[in-house]
Amino acid sequence: MTRPEPSPALRRLAAVVPAGRILDGPAQLAAYESDALTAFQTRPLAIVVPETQEEVVALVRFCHAEGLPFVARGSGTSLSGGSLPVAGGIVIALNRLNRIRRIDLDQRIAVVEPGVVNSAVTAAVQAHGLHYAPDPSSQLICTIGGNVAFNAGGAHCLKYGMTSNHVLGLKAVLATGEVVEFGGASREQAGPDWTGLFVGNEGLFGVALEITLQLLPRAECFHTVLAGYATLEQAGDAVAAIVASGLLPGAIEIMEKLALEAATAAVHAEYPPGCEAVLIVELEGPREVVAADRARLDALLAASRPVEVRPARDAAERLAIWKGRKSAFSAVGRLSPDFIVQDGVVPRRRLGEALRLINGWSREMGVRCANVFHAGDGNLHPLILYDGREPGALLRAEELAGRILRMCVEMGGSITGEHGVGVEKRDYLPAMFAAEEIACLKRIRSAFDPKGIANPGKMFPEKGAPALVHAGLHPLEKAGVISRE
């Protein structure tokens, strides 16, 4: 069969990067038509694979001149559809910009390109007693560029903060083609915090080319504990008690029974038997401090009425605990062919109440939900299970996800803690912000991208794009325009 002639835009694009790195075959496009939010797919015009920063700049300038939409993408691990392609636009795949440009041990910084994998930063400096603190569950594959775009967190964000707390500066090409440098190698900066504004922009401003990361000393000592509970609500109440005590663990995580079953099957993790939920608490720091904090933690856990408390006896057991937690998202694939990972935030004092409501709705709607989340900062990650082959199953899953998001806002929380708004939660932005506030956000976006070509269709509510439904059918399905069954 004769392959159709490339579009005029693709022919002109071949003058920017070699034609061999412009992918437009059906199989090539299929590999990029969705990210980790697989419920939605869009086929782009082409995938372009730059190898240098200069090529990225040239591509963005080409898109600006042509009015061609583009989406920058790393490993495609976004769970909010943040790197979903745009029909008629291109995907700029950044995986080959994977060089660590500079490490300065005296200043404790690393300057990296956007395609560098998160865990590779720590691997490059751990022999010097340093590490890069943000640790998303996907840290073995997710890239720093994506972490910057969505302000990723991780299990240890309770103590160390989000990506924004560890990015000191960056070089980027804005959607206009202008190359800018924000911040630097020091936290002492004068003037507006442009770096802080850029982190978390969800790809709406442009593309990061180099990121200056803060490195931290690795803790001298760790103490990791598993505590099993008869109910999920008890585990949530235990978290509230720990935080209220003033104790600051490095991490506090919760896994619920369904997630425990999946992790056990996937990586042979061992958890206290007969529990509905497991709490993971990790203390870290100087030995003397950890010893004192351990005594306080033991008392708090004993008062929370656990079924069993199981401290890690050595480094191997500690790593096994975290392997089970980090594998939870992928392991749930053993329980269901499809699932939605939600990302709302509630105040920690209301964790128990939130979990009780989620479990009640799950039973009421007949939709299974495996709860795994960063309990220390109230960042819920309910994994809502469904079978996309079953008519109406996705809509029921989305309805439960929508209830959870509305609950988070009503409790004084947020619709997202680290995954971003993307396409998944854009219809819920008005639940958090007034119309005037959203208009202000749009004006900021337009200052960086007046043509609206950088990752269009994300974050802001717009007619005609996929988003979680509030209840029942999506408005476009009611009109018969789209179908997702």
Three-class SS of residue 302?
Answer: helix
Q: What is the pLDDT of residue 475?
A: 37
**How much is the CA Rg of the chain, to the nearest whole Å?**
23
Confidence of residue 322 (pLDDT cuts 50, 70, 90): confident
Decide: 194 and 444 in contact? Cβ < 8 Å. Answer: no
Confidence of residue 471 (pLDDT cuts 50, 70, 90): very low
| Six token digits for residue 116 | 């560098």
| Six token digits for residue 272 | 């206290």
Q: List 19's β-bridge partners, or say none.
A: none
DSSP 165: G
pLDDT at 484 over 70: no
pLDDT tens digits, one per residue of 242-277: 988 999 999 999 998 888 888 887 777 788 888 889
Decide: 460 and 438 in contact? Cβ < 8 Å. Answer: yes
Q: Using CA atoms, how far apart are residues 147 and 56, in angstroms rounded to an integer? A: 18
Cα distances (Å, whole numbers) of residue 118 to 132, 146, 212, 419, 433? 8, 10, 13, 15, 32
Confidence of residue 466 (pLDDT cuts 50, 70, 90): very low
- Average pLDDT for the chain: 90
pLDDT at 347 over 60: yes
Q: Using CA atoms, how far apart are residues 271 and 252, in angstroms rounded to an integer? A: 16
Decide: 83 and 39 in contact? Cβ < 8 Å. Answer: no
HSE (side-chain half, CA atoms, 13 Å) at 365? 27
Whose CA is closest to 163, among 142, 183, 149?
149
Q: For 50-91, give the secondary structure using H, E and C.
A: CCCHHHHHHHHHHHHHHCCCEEEECCCCCCCCCCCCCCCCEE
* Residue that is written with structure tokens 């794009």 in the block: 465
| Six token digits for residue 200 | 């978390």
The arithmetic mean of pLDDT across residues 421-425, rounded, is: 92
pLDDT tens digits, one per residue of 424-441: 899 899 999 999 999 999
pLDDT tens digits, one per residue of 439-449: 999 999 999 99
pLDDT tens digits, one per residue of 118-171: 999 999 999 999 999 999 989 999 999 999 999 999 889 989 999 999 999 999
Whose CA is closest to 42, among 93, 90, 91, 85?
85
Burial class (CB in 10 A: 0-12, 13-18, 19+), 378: buried
Three-class SS of residue 334?
Answer: helix
Confidence of residue 321 (pLDDT cuts 50, 70, 90): confident
Q: List 382's β-bridge partners, or say none.
A: 371
Cα distances (Å, whole numbers) of residue 155 to 15, 280, 318, 436? 44, 10, 14, 34
| Six token digits for residue 397 | 């899953």
The arithmetic mean of pLDDT across residues 59-86, rounded, is: 96
| Six token digits for residue 62 | 């080409």
Tell me how long the chain is. 485
The arithmetic mean of pLDDT across residues 392-406, rounded, is: 92
Q: Tell me the domains of the chain and their CATH numbers.
A: 8-93 (3.30.43.10), 104-217 (3.30.465.10), 221-324 (3.30.70.2190), 336-478 (3.30.70.2740)
Q: What is the pLDDT of residue 63?
A: 97
pLDDT at 280 over 90: yes
Element (H, E) at 104: strand 100-104
Helices (H), 281-383: 287-303, 315-326, 328-331, 351-365
Cα-Cα-Cα-Cα torsion 364, 368, 372, 376, nearest 10 degrees, comes to: 0
pLDDT at 235 over 50: yes
Q: Which amino acid is at 113?
A: E
Which residues contact residue 226 at a Cβ distance below 8 angstroms, ignoring those fewer than 6 apart? 271, 272, 278, 279, 280, 308, 309, 310, 311, 312, 321
Q: What is the pLDDT of residue 448?
A: 97
Q: What is the pLDDT of residue 470?
A: 39
Element (H, E) at 229: strand 221-229
Element (H, E) at 254: strand 251-256
pLDDT tens digits, one per residue of 163-221: 999 999 999 999 999 999 999 998 888 889 999 999 999 999 999 999 999 999 999 99
Whose CA is closest to 251, among 345, 181, 133, 159?
159
Q: What is the pLDDT of residue 461?
A: 85
Q: Using CA atoms, how far apart are residues 96 and 114, in angstroms rounded to an integer? A: 9
Q: What is the pLDDT of residue 463?
A: 61
pLDDT at 96 over 60: yes
Q: What is the pLDDT of residue 4?
A: 61
Q: Using CA atoms, how far apart are residues 182 and 192, in angstroms rounded to an integer? A: 10
Q: What is the pLDDT of residue 198?
A: 98
